[in-house]
Amino acid sequence: MRLALAVNRSNAYHPTAGAPDDEYEEFDSPETVQAIADTVSGFGHQVGILEADASFPAALAAGKFEFVFNISEGLKGRAREAQVPAVCDMLGIPFTGSDAVTMGLTLDKDLARRAVAGPEVRVAPGRVFAHPDRIDLRGLRFPVFAKPNAEGSSKGIRNSSRLTSEAEARSRIASLIREYRGPVLVEEFLAGAECTVGVLGNRQPRVIGIMEIAPRQKKVEEFVYSLETKRDYLNQVEYHVPPRFPKETVAAIEKTVLAAYEALGCRDFARVDIRLDGAGVPHFIEANPLPGLSPVKGDLVILSKAAGMEYRELIGRILDLAFVRTGVAKTRNYSEAFV
């Protein structure tokens, strides 16, 4: 099959004047792109790597591709992750992963939390601020947590994102609005442990693993899984797979994650971030239907390996799920187990 790999490579773009230093944090390294391309080629497909920029629609149509493996983050605006799925749907070309509606919904963190909130999924109290001079924090209990409302890969999340006073919060929120040129989500800070959860599947999605993110140098109740921490993860955190949680907590996390996955319309694969409150109750933080697939440090990849799936098996399973879902194939062809 002639298959396109839709990507945004971190080395393909020049920094925008005045933009924050994490402008392209979401984009994939050339090494990750090549690892996926090589793996898919190893299944017998002819793979073409297409940059998901303004040239993408014409290149996809001209290339006569039959399927798209999508890992692109898109360019510009809160609907950027929906760009490739929308183009694929318009051209009638099936693709891996969630559709444009889900991609747009999950990138807008406030819309996502509103969509999932209910009896099965708890979210922390919060609100969105779009104007630096209209910040009303009344009704929110400190400490609070502030982050850009439509960014991924911890963009805009720093060690200073946990805010303990109104003055500190006002300053930080206003700064984020200006720096990232968009609304900021502010939530009451949850004092429990943080974890990220991998999910695979469609009609019967399953949790493949839970990774507890434990700070080395800070108290859990003060810990922020910030961009600085991720860039220095070997010194700053310990990852525990499986997590060191009671069985009841693990079950509650899995129930929350699967409910959120289905409520958001996720397909094939995703990663969901959860944080516990001080009483150990899981709360939805956000969902990522484009989880990183770096063979070295991708969280979903790490979770898959802990579940007994090597990199080839994970990529094969994503293909199997997408092929069966779209009718390209009737049964699995590339993975040992199918969910």
Q: What is the pLDDT of residue 157?
A: 85
Q: What is the pLDDT of residues 308-323, one digit of tens each?
A: 999 999 999 999 999 9
Q: Which residues of 273-292 are buried (b: 16+ CB within 10 A; e: fewer)?
A: bbbbeeeeebbbbbbbbbbb
Per-residue pLDDT at 339 exceeds 50: no
Q: What is the pLDDT of residue 127?
A: 96
Tell me what the mean pLDDT of segment 206-233 comes to: 88
Residue 97 phi, psi dihedral angles, 5° rounding: 85, -170
Per-residue pLDDT at 237 exceeds 70: yes
Q: Which SS3 state, helix, strand or coil, does residue 161 take?
A: helix
Q: What is the pLDDT of residue 20?
A: 66
Q: Which residues contact 253 (CB under 8 A, 6 or more apart)?
A: 195, 197, 210, 245, 274, 282
**CA dihedral (310, 66, 5, 263) positive or negative:** negative
Q: What is the pLDDT of residues 125-145, one digit of tens each?
A: 999 999 999 999 999 999 999
Mean pLDDT, rounded, of the chain: 93
What is the C-alpha to C-alpha distance for residues 277 and 140, in angstroms, rounded to an integer? 15
**CA dihedral (261, 31, 158, 302) positive or negative:** positive
pTM above threshold 0.85: yes
Q: What is the pLDDT of residue 25?
A: 67
Q: What is the pLDDT of residue 21?
A: 62
Percent of the chain residues past pLDDT 90, beyond the cut: 80
Q: What is the pLDDT of residues 21-66, one digit of tens each?
A: 656 667 889 999 999 999 999 999 999 999 999 999 999 999 999 9
Q: Which residues contact 292 (CB under 8 A, 6 or more apart)?
A: 28, 32, 153, 298, 299, 300, 301
What are the structural domains of the chain?
Answer: 2-95 (3.40.50.20), 125-188 (3.30.1490.20), 194-326 (3.30.470.20)
Match 């006073």 to its residue by tokens: 165
What is the C-alpha to C-alpha distance for residues 193 and 277, in angstroms, rounded to an integer? 8
- pLDDT band with cut points at 50, 70 and 90 for residue 336: confident
Q: Which SS3 state, helix, strand or coil, does residue 40 take?
A: helix
Q: What is the pLDDT of residue 19?
A: 66
Percent of the chain residues past pLDDT 70, beyond the cut: 96
Q: What is the pLDDT of residue 152?
A: 73
Q: Residue 156 — left, alpha, or beta (φ > 0 → left; ψ -120 to 50 → alpha)?
A: left
Chain-centroid distance of CA 193 in Å reads 19
- Residue 314 corresponds to which tokens in the numbers above? 């994970």
- pLDDT band with cut points at 50, 70 and 90 for residue 338: very low
Q: What is the pLDDT of residues 68-119, one digit of tens each?
A: 999 999 998 999 999 999 999 999 999 999 999 999 999 999 999 999 999 9
Q: In what order do the strands lie in the sheet with 184-188?
A: 126-129, 184-188, 144-148, 162-163
Q: Which helix (H) or strand (E) holds 110?
A: helix 109-116
